[in-house]
Every structure is written in structure tokens, then in C-alpha cells.
Structure 1
Amino acid sequence: MLRSVSGMKQKDFGERLSAARNAKQAMADKFRQRPRPDDPAVAERRAAREAVSAARDARIAKREADRLAENARIATEREAIAVEHAEQEKRAAAEKKASDAKLEAERKAARDARYAARKARK
């Protein structure tokens, strides 16, 4: 083995090949140690994830149903208010029509009285 200027050992080609082979072997061993899809621990984790996902979906569906129910309630209230408002306008229009008719009758009566008084003077 040769020593470099800095005092570190230089690796020859064989040592570098051996180190690369050992690194590849370590990566392959690490990959092989991973649990397989049929492993009980993997199945358990998958089931837990699915349960969490199902619970999340249920919460989302409940929120959506609550939102739709609230929107329906608000729409019903708005419709009731609109109907009440329309009825009030209808009553106000009927009262105005009756008031106008009464006023017109009073005017006609006053006009007829004036006419009768004028006739009586002659």
C-alpha cells in the first residue's frame, strides 16, 4: 500500500471494487429485509390507514350533510320571509285601494253636495 502526501492510505483498484461490491450487497440486503405485502405488520398498518381514511370520509360526509341541511333551513326561512313580505305588500295594496275608493267616494259626495247646494240657490 502506498501512502499519499497527506498521510492517508491510497486504495488500489481491487479494494475499490471490493468496497463497491460490499455496498451493493448491503443495499440488496437492506431491500430484502423490507417487510413483504403479505406480512402481518404491513397488513395491520394498511388496515389502520384504511380505518383512519374511512373515519375521515365519514366526517367529511357528515359535514357535507350538515351543510346541506343548514342551507335547506336557510332557504326555507328566506322563502317564508318572502311569502310574508308578499302578503304584507298585498294587504298594503288592498288597504290603499280601499282608502282610495273611500277618498274618491268622499270627494264625490262633497262634489254632489256642492252641486245640490248650487241648484238649491237658483
Structure 2
Amino acid sequence: MVDYFVSNIREIKMDRVPVNGSKNAFIQWLVTKENGSNYAVRKFTLLKDGIIPMHIHKYQETVVVTKGKCKVCVSDKVYELKEGDYIFINSNVKHAIINESDQLEFFCIIDYPDDMSIITLNEDCNKK
């Protein structure tokens, strides 16, 4: 555990998003429990036609869009988010994110419940 640390996003490894069925979607873990934090801050990048399909998990999350625009399907609703918009999604609420720009970037802050598993749902995001 550290008292603090300083880094740069460009120094953080970019991995593919681990939700089954994701396409052109990448994640970087910036602040984690390994740093002594009770929450995680992650940066997502979705390239053109990028998608994180409908899924659920036990952690809560707040998504803050910093570049581009997207559709967020949450529960049975569809929202259009753009740079500066954010959404809170509680635990066990189904959701998906679809990039609608050349490149979508957003930060996602989550808590750490005992179960961090992700369940991909066999449901399409309503693209109205």
C-alpha cells in the first residue's frame, strides 16, 4: 500500500475488455486495490464500431465520457451520451455501451465487491 503515486495514462498497459463479445474495446486500470484504494479508476477506449455487449456484475460503476459519443443501454432504456455526460449504474443492472463516433473514451469508477465476475447476457442493446 502506498500513501500516493503519480503516473501517466500513456504508461498504463491497454488490454482488451474482458466482456465476452466485446469488439474494438480496450481498458486501462489506473487506480486499483493493489495501490491500496477501495475503488478502481479505469479508462476505456472504444474504436470505430466498438461495443461492450449487454452484461451484469456486482460492482457499481460511474461512466464519465471524455471523448466521442455512444449509446448506453441500461435496464430497458437507451441513452445517448456525449463528451461531458456521465451515468451511474448500480450493481446487477444490465447494460451495454456502443460507440457512435470514430473513437470513444470514458473513465469508469467502480467499487470492489467480493465477487468481481462479469456475466455476458445474450441480449441485444436496443439501438433505437
TM-score by length of 2: 0.15
TM-score by length of 1: 0.15
- If asked which structure has higher relative contact order (CA below 8 Å, sep 6+), I would say 2
Greater per-residue strand proportion: 2
Which of structures 1 and 2 has the bigger CA Rg? 1
